[in-house]
Structure 1
Amino acid sequence: MSDATYDGPGSHDLVTWDRIAERYIELADNRSTSSFHHLADFFHERLKPLSGKSVLDIGCGHGWLTHSLAVQGAEASGIDGSESMISQARRRYPDLTFHTADLTGGLGPALTDAGYDAMVARFSLQCISDIDPLLRDTAVALRPGGLFLVSMPHPAFYMRERVEDPVTKERYRKVTGYLELETRVLPDFGGHRYFHRPVSWYVNSFARHGLYLDDMREPHQHPDTAGSRTRDEWNEFEKWWSTIPVFLGLGFRKAAAG
C-alpha cells in the first residue's frame, strides 16, 4: 500500500538533508534539553539489557544514538539517506557500521537475513515520504519477537498554535485537520519536509506488516525557557506547557515464531 502523503521523489528530501546537515549536527550537539534527546531514555529502557543485541538505527543522522547504544553493549549499526550525515557518522565513530540508502526504497544494504533483535527510528519516520517499503523490509530483517521503537513529533500537538482565551485565560493548543494526511515544510535546520499522519495511520501501517503496538509514551515536555530550573521553580505558563505532549514514543513488536 503506497503512502497517500507522497507528493514528490525521495531524492528531493535527500538533497535537502545533505544541504542542512551541518546545521542539524550543530544543534544536535549543543541543545541538551531539546527534541534531539527526548525519548532516548525510552529506547534504552525498552532495549535493556543491551549487551550483545543487534540493533539498527534507522535515520541515524550523524550517529550519536547509534554510538550511545554501542557504548552500552549493543552491536549497533546505522542507516541514513544523507551522504553528508553518514560521512560525519563514519568520521566520528569509525568502529561502527553505517549504511547509506534512500529509505523510501527500504533498508537497502542494511537488509539482512540474519535478523536484528531491535530497530529504532528516532524522529525519522515523519521525514520519509513513503515508509511502506521500509516496513516491508523491517518485517523480514527483524527477528521474531523483536522490537521496533519509534519517536516522533506528536501528530496531534506538534506545531499546533498555542491559544489563550482572552476572557477565561484558559490555554490550549488549537488542533485542526488531525486526521488529514498532509505534507508540510518545517523551518527547522533550514527547511525540510514533514509528513503529517495521525497515530492510527502508523499503528495500522505497522500492523499490516506484522508489527503490533505494545507501548506508547507521551512524556511531559520540558519547557525550553525552564533551563535547569526544577518543576517547582517553573512559572504558570511553563507548567501548562509541560502538560501537553509534543513528542510521542511508540513500541512495536514482531510476533514470536510458532
Structure 2
Amino acid sequence: MDAVLALKPQSVLDIGCGEGWLVRALAGHASRLVGVDATEALIDQARQSGDGEFYTARYEDISQCLSDQRFDVAVCNFSLLGKESVEVLLAAIPRILNDGGHLVIQTLHPRNACGDTPYRDGWREGSWKGFSRDFCDAPPWYFRTLESWIALLTRSDLALYHLLEPFFPDTQQPASLILVAEPTDRR
C-alpha cells in the first residue's frame, strides 16, 4: 500500500482485486477506485463491502472492458499467477494508464518462492501454506525469476521505475518483491 500511496494517485485500478480489500484500504486516498477480478463471487462480495467500482473481467479482457478509462496507478497485488494471461495483461497496461501513470506489482519474492526447486521460470504446484483451513485446492502458478520479471516489463513497453524488497523483521528474509514500472514512451 505504501508503494501505491507514494505515487499520490487520484485514480487506482486494482487488478485481481478479489473481495476488494485494497480498494477499501485506499478509500480516502484517491478519488476514484476501481477493482477488477475474474471471479464473479469475489466481485459480488467486493460490491457489498462498499467503496469503489467493481467489474468482472479476465486479464485478457481488461483492456477491452476498460477501453475508455485511464488510471494513475494500476496495482497487481499478489494476483499475477499465470503465464500467457499475465503477458497479455502487462502488454495492455500502457494503454490504460494516464500520462505519468505507474504499474505496481507485488508478488512473491523469487528468492523465497523458488524454495528447493531450480531457479528458473516454470509452473509450480500451488500451496496455501500459512493460510487458514478455509483455503483448499491451491491452483498452480507460474514462477518467474527477477530477470524474467524485468524482461517481461520491457517486452510490455514498461520500464522499471523502482524496485522494493520488504523483509520480515524477525528473519530479515524478503517478504515480497514490489516492482514499480512506467510506460517506456514517457522516459
TM-score scaled to structure 1, two decimals? 0.64
2:173 paired residue number = 244
| 1:177 maps onto 2:118 in alignment | yes
| Alignment correspondent of 2:157 | 210
Give yes or no for contact 2:158–2:183 (8 Å, CA) kept in 1. Answer: yes
- Could you give the per-residue CA deviations for residues 163-196 of structure 1, whole angstroms, max 9, x where no partner exists? xxxxxxxxxxxx5411232232213521222211
Q: Given that residues 109 and 175 in structure 2 are in contact (C-alpha distance below 8 angstroms), is that contact kept between their aligned partners in structure 1?
A: yes
For 1:138 and 1:124, the matched residues in 2 are separated by 15
AA at the equivalent of 2:67: T
1:133 is aligned with what amino acid?
A: V
Greater helix fraction, Structure 1 or Structure 2: 1
Question: In the alignment, what sits opposite 2:56?
Answer: 100
Q: Is the 8 A contact 2:16 2:38 kept in 1?
A: yes
The DSSP-based 3-state class of the residue aligned with 1:157 is helix
What TM-score, normalized to structure 2?
A: 0.85
Q: Secondary structure at the match of 1:56?
A: strand
Q: Secondary structure at the match of 1:186?
A: coil
Q: Any gaps of 5 or more consecutive residues in structure 1? A: 1-39, 161-174, 223-238
Going from structure 1 to structure 2, the CA distance change for 1:177 and 1:106 (only over 3 Å counts) comes to: farther
Q: Give the aligned residue type for 1:177.
A: P
**Cα deviation code 1:188-227 (max 9, x no counterpart):** 52122221111221211111121110111111214xxxxx
| Offset, 1:109 | 5.5
Distance apart, 1:140 and its partner CA: 1.3
In the TM superposition, residue 84 of structure 1 has moved relative to its aligned partner by 1.1
Task: State which of 145, 154, 160 in structure 1 corresponds to 2:100.
Answer: 145
Structure 2 alignment gaps of length 5 or more: 130-134
Provide the C-alpha distance between the structure 1 equivalents of 2:118 and 2:15, rounded to a whole number of angstroms: 29
Q: How do 1:75-94 residues align onto structure 2 when only pairs under 5 Å count? A: 75-93=32-50
Whether the aligned pair in 1 keeps the contact of 2:114 and 2:143 (CA below 8 Å) is: no
Paired residues, number? 181
SS in 1 for 2:107: strand
- Cα deviation for residue 81 of structure 1 reads 0.8
